Amino acid sequence: MKKLFIFSAFAALAFAGCKKKEATISSLHNYSVPTILLPEGHYYSIPVGGVLSITDATAYDSFYNEVCTVVYDQSSLDNTIPGAYEVLAQAKNKYGMLATKKIYVAVTDIPETINLAGKYLRVATDDTVTITMLANGLYQTSDVAANGAADTTHVITGHFVQTSNVALSMPTQASKFGTFFGTNGVVNMIPGDTTLEYVVRNNAFSTATRVFKKL
């Protein structure tokens, strides 16, 4: 009986140990997030009061061999106010691992016939920048500050929206110097004498009005 009792006690201990293990064990999975594809690109433009429509985005997690659903967080998009906004494309795999991609949206009633893209010269520093059209009214500049050819430290790209025939808006955006934005944005569309103006708001830059003349 002693041996049986010892065995029974051991069995009870083993059983209790098993029950404890079952209560604390958790499921572990390799970390992987879906890849989001945006065939139409990351840049969109809608008129004031318009609706953003993205129909061809897809997401796939190659590790788990899973097609994932893409949803859009448009909570920051205000289609009643001209400007530049960020929309997040999001996709989760079956384990809830989340992938996101930023989509930039211009809200503007600027006619599609207007195109500000080209080479510009910052008058104060004799520095040349390239402005690229991303979508109707939405642009990217190759050098927001244009402090001069000798200053390569403060070169950052940025995007802005032409919100009217005479105004532009440079929204808050990320950079290696932290977030920045532009104020006092002006567009002068005089044939043969197009200029852009804005003030960069970030501690790494002066608050001078930067004037760019189209070449």
Helix or strand (DSSP H, E) at 17: helix 2-24
Question: Is 163 in contact with 82 (CB distance < 8 Å)?
Answer: yes
Please tell me the predicted confidence (pLDDT) of residue 25: 52
What is the C-alpha to C-alpha distance for residues 141 and 31, in angstroms, rounded to an integer? Answer: 36
Please tell me the predicted confidence (pLDDT) of residue 192: 86
Q: List, run by run, the mean pLDDT of 10-residue segments along the chain (215 residues).
A: 39 47 65 94 96 92 96 96 95 96 96 96 95 98 93 94 96 95 96 94 95 96
Under 8 Å CB-to-CB from 198, ≥6 apart: which residues?
A: 160, 168, 170, 182, 183, 184, 185, 186, 209, 210
Question: Is 126 in contact with 147 (CB distance < 8 Å)?
Answer: no
Alpha carbon distances (Å) from 170 to 30, 78, 118, 144: 40, 15, 18, 10
Q: Read off the pTM.
A: 0.82
